[in-house]
């Protein structure tokens, strides 16, 4: 079963789904080995682990690369917390417009 389908099934199971928050590969693997069925990333944790304050101070590409490292090193679903993921933030809006050309 693909991770996305497994994650969907976990959300619809009778048992509560608890997500441990990971900020790097070590924390993600520790959560997996501790028995978590899925994990989430923490934008604050990722930023803080690299010496940044939370609130879009970390380079977006760097943030995504850390999430990808986490995903690549665990065998359970990962939900990504991305700063300003819901948009409405002018810095994010400017980046999206610049990326669109």
**3-class secondary structure per residue, the chain:** CCHHHHHHHHHCCCCCCCCEEECCHHHHHHHHHCCCCCEEECHHHHHHHCCCCCCCCCCHHHHHHHHHHHHHCCCCCEECCCCCCCCCCHHHHHHHHHHHC
Q: pTM (2 decimals)?
A: 0.74
pLDDT above 50 (res 40): yes
Considering the chain, what is the average pLDDT of its residues?
82
* pLDDT tens figures, 73-94: 999 999 998 876 555 555 545 4
Q: Look at residue 21 in the predicted model and tell me its pLDDT.
A: 95
């Amino acid at each position: 079963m693909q991770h996305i389908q497994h994650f969907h099934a976990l959300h619809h199971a009778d048992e509560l789904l608890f997500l441990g928050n990971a900020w790097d590969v070590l924390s993600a693997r520790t959560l997996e080995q501790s028995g978590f069925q899925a994990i989430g990333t923490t934008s604050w944790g990722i930023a803080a682990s690299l010496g940044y304050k939370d609130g879009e101070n970390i380079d977006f590409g760097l943030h995504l690369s850390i999430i990808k490292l986490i995903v690549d090193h665990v065998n359970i679903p990962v939900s990504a917390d991305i700063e300003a993921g819901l948009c409405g933030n002018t810095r994010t809006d400017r980046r999206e417009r610049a990326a669109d050309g």
